[in-house]
Structure 1
Amino acid sequence: MSPLITNHTINARQFMILVTLYGIGDSILYIPEMLATDSGQDAWIASGIGFIDSFLFAYLFGKLGSRFAGATFIQYSEILLGKWLGKLISVIFILFIFIDTILMLYEIGDFLLTQFIPRTPIQAIIIIFLCITMQGTRVGVGPLVRASEIFIPWATILLIILGVALLPQINVDRLFPIFEHGLSTLWKSNAQQIGFMSEFAILLMIFANIDRPHQGTKAFILGALLSNLVLFVLTLLAILVLGAELTTKQIYPGFILATRIDVGHFFTRLEAMLATIWFITIFVKTTICFYATTVGVTQLLQLDDHRSLILPLGVLMVPCTLLFVPNNTYYEAVISPFWTYYAFINGVLLPLLLLLIAIFWTRRQRQNL
């Protein structure tokens, strides 16, 4: 029972790269503002707590994936829960991936519309980016991994340049007073971050492609921690450079950070640099999600090739994106608060339930021997 519909296997190091880029994803622009809104200048502490969450979630997903080597979430749902209940859980999980994909498509359109090309219809932006994502899905995991191996050194270099160039703008006084808003706000901020981290569960659809599954858990953990390190540093820089108040007032504080760079009145305004990093990470994340959606539906319907579903699902995603997220106000007021709970239920509780059932199932089998 092989899930490798495109017949591509990857090693643990390649999977770690995918997890890192996936974890940074769209979070690189949103996380600082989300954390600072609740925790103020303590946003960097809330982000630091995220290391614990990243480790625990990656460990959970890694253990679940390694128990069923060569199978995806869809396949071992039916193994553990039976045909009909397993298919129901699979439908819920696929819907979760589908919604996550259309949210990212909207984020791409909204970002380009507000920051670069304000007169371009958002539909055109979504369709163009979706076409690129569909092509990435068509070629499969192997080429995406190789592209990620090319992307990650450049993304790392750009992040280092960004961080070093911002050093003259740092004001340590902006970190104080610490714990001004109390510890409760840290947990509230961390809860929103958990919503993003819960999306790591979607990588269980890729975990099956690892050639040595026993190494997958370690790769999952390392990738999750590396992505959280990037978000932690970015959040810390946002507070040190912009301050908590200005960070909360910006939709994309990470992008605004790059506009503050001014080294000798020569090395200035490097917002395109951060945008490049974001395009790399969100392309990887969106392509993984779209791939996971097509593979999930293919396995649910027991089809032979996921590529036959790429065009129908792609066409369906465009109107769904525009209907599900009509504008940024609706996104911030309705979807963002709701997403934390929705993602946690589908991305953490469902895998945890399957893992517990798998552990109980294994023990029962041993007792019957």
Structure 2
Amino acid sequence: MFNNEVISARQLRILVLIFVVGSSVLYIPSILTAEAKQDGWIVSVFGSAIGLLIAKLIFTLAKIYPEMNFAQYSEVILGKWLGKLINVVFFINFFMLSGFVLRDVGDFLTIQIMPKTPIHAILIMFALVGVMAVRLGLETLARTGEIFFPWLMIMMLILLLTLTPQVKFLNLQPMFEFGYKTIMRTSLPFIANPFLQLSVFLMIFPNVKDKVKAEKSFLVGVVMGSIILVICTLIAILVLGSYTTSINFFPTYALAKKISIGNLERIEVLMGLIWIISIFF
């Protein structure tokens, strides 16, 4: 479907950034603080560093066969039958992941925003929008990302700035309470999601117009997305504390509920909007 479509290196960077933020921005702080507590932000920094190495490895593989996607060169490297088997596994992995992500959308909306709406209605509507986006093609999806990207960044900046008055640096103490082994062990889920999932971009690297700039754009997108996740985790701990963050399945949404500046309240819908847009991509 994407064979004749071309996107720019800038569009690739935006897609990668939004993909990294994805669903992770909503629940990663909870996962990281569940075991590491107040060191959860350190876990996110460590996991991001490993994630960048994984991203570099992924693009190194793509550079070997710049005009082929993963499904094509897997058969060249492994042979026809073993390559097809790997392709099937690759497809099943992301098909199941898509189902999990779709269920995340349904759970979030029915729990936090529309509790009386049947979850099946939400899942069907969101799935149809995803199917429509794929049928319109990669170029349309990339251009849509360009339109939404600045608004996502503005909404994220508003949320972070309005929470700064509630920051309590004592929530970060004591640092390294549970040692380096806990930090490394807790980082594994964060490395798996979203960084290992970046392998899906192996399917669209051949569609990037400027192959020279593609690697830099890909890695910059990963770094920028990682910084957003680190900041969200840090702010969650600073404002909510590690315990409240760890027991709340959607801590960044709970974080947005605490915004109160004058008459500016109940803007947590911004967090929900950021997440729905990013998870769509």
Percent identity among equivalent residues? 39
How far is 1:118 from its partner?
Answer: 1.1
Contact 2:51/2:196, CA 8 A, preserved across alignment: no
2:256 to 252, 255, 258: 258
Aligned to 1:70: 67
Contact 2:43/2:184, CA 8 A, preserved across alignment: yes
Q: Which residue identity lines up with residue 68 of structure 2 in the other structure? A: A
2:139 to 125, 133, 142: 142
Would you identify which runs of 4 or more consecutive aligned residues in structure 1 move more than 3 Å?
none
Aligned to 1:55: 52
How far is 1:220 from its partner?
Answer: 1.3
Residues 189-232 of structure 1: CA deviation (Å, up to 9, x unaligned): 21110110111111111212111223222111111111100000
Q: Which residue identity lines up with residue 29 of structure 1 in the other structure? A: L
1:270 equivalent in alignment to 2:267: yes
CA distance in 2, matches of 1:63, 1:11: 19
Aligned to 1:113: 110
1:122 to 106, 119, 122: 119
Contact 2:32/2:44, CA 8 A, preserved across alignment: yes
Aligned to 1:85: 82
Task: Tell me the SS of whatever aligns to 1:9.
Answer: coil
Task: Tell me the SS of whatever aligns to 1:110.
Answer: helix
Aligned to 1:358: none
How far is 1:153 from its partner?
Answer: 0.2
Contact 1:258/1:271, CA 8 A, preserved across alignment: yes
1:24 equivalent in alignment to 2:21: yes
* Structure-2-length-normalised TM-score: 0.97
1:243 to 224, 234, 241: 241
Equivalence map 1:1-369=2 (5 Å): 4-5=2-3, 7-196=4-193, 197-264=195-262, 266-284=263-281
Q: Which residue identity lines up with residue 182 of structure 2 in the other structure? A: T
Contact 2:2/2:138, CA 8 A, preserved across alignment: no
Q: Which residue identity lines up with residue 255 of structure 2 in the other structure? A: L
How far is 1:12 from its partner?
Answer: 1.0
Q: Which residue identity lines up with residue 77 of structure 1 in the other structure? A: S
Residues 123-165 of structure 1: CA deviation (Å, up to 9, x unaligned): 1111000000000000110000000001110000011110000
> Which runs of no fewer than 5 residues in structure 1 stay unpaired?
285-369
How far is 1:69 from its partner?
Answer: 1.5
Contact 1:10/1:210, CA 8 A, preserved across alignment: yes
Higher mean C-alpha deviation, range 103-112 or range 210-219? 210-219
Task: Tell me the SS of whatever aligns to 1:8.
Answer: coil
Residues 55-110 of structure 1: CA deviation (Å, up to 9, x unaligned): 11111111111221121110000011110010011111111110110010000000
Contact 1:61/1:217, CA 8 A, preserved across alignment: no
Task: Tell me the SS of whatever aligns to 1:166.
Answer: helix
CA distance in 2, matches of 1:182, 1:175: 14
User: How many equivalent residue pairs?
Assistant: 280
Aligned to 1:302: none
Q: Find the structure with the greater CA-based Rg.
A: 1
CA distance in 1, matches of 2:272, 2:118: 19
How far is 1:269 from its partner?
Answer: 2.2
Contact 2:48/2:191, CA 8 A, preserved across alignment: no
> Which runs of no fewer than 5 residues in structure 2 stay unpaired?
none
Contact 1:4/1:208, CA 8 A, preserved across alignment: no
How far is 1:259 from its partner?
Answer: 0.3
Q: Which has the higher contact order (CA 8 A, sep 6+)?
A: 2
How far is 1:177 from its partner?
Answer: 0.6
Residues 22-46 of structure 1: CA deviation (Å, up to 9, x unaligned): 0100001011000000100000100
Residues 318-341 of structure 1: CA deviation (Å, up to 9, x unaligned): xxxxxxxxxxxxxxxxxxxxxxxx
